[in-house]
Amino acid sequence: MTVPLKNVLAVHLLRQHGTTKPKLPNYEYGLSHRQLQQVLDYIDANLGNEIKLADLAKIVGISQFYFGRLFKQSLGLSPYQYLLQQRVERAKKLLKTTEQPIIDIAFDCGFNSHSHLSTQFRQLTGMTPKADRTN
């Protein structure tokens, strides 16, 4: 019984120390605080407009691929998930504080239709925009 354990230990040691692995940059903490704040400010200021991944990556001067990766490491959400979440939050605020028609709120928050807002709203909150407004 000790022979298999020795083999397992030997294999583990060889895998860990027997080969050279390329050193990859460590992005453990994601975007810097300054970079993240620049991106979040841009998103907040442009929620009603089309926001592309390329635009966000350009703000911090990195590729779209690395931006998406670092953003997710920073917030735990992909840029798209974060954007949808912020749009729904803004819609919730407008539903409570204005009498605007829901279709207008949808466009003001960057959704391309009432149904797109309703679908995303329901997925994130469990209710429709109309139901949220009446609660």
Q: Per-residue confidence of the chain (135 residues) as pLDDT tens digits?
A: 444 555 555 555 555 555 444 343 444 679 999 999 999 999 999 999 999 999 999 999 999 999 999 999 999 999 999 999 999 999 999 999 999 999 999 999 999 999 999 999 999 999 999 999 998
Q: What local confidence, expressed as pLDDT, does residue 5 receive?
A: 56
Q: Domains (ranges, CATH) in the chain?
A: 22-134 (1.10.10.60)
pTM of the shown model: 0.76
Locate all alpha helices (DSSP H) within the chain, ordered by sequence: 2-17, 33-45, 53-60, 64-75, 79-97, 102-108, 114-125, 129-134
**Which of 122, 85, 83 is closest to 102 using CA atoms?**
122
Q: What local confidence, expressed as pLDDT, does residue 17 receive?
A: 57
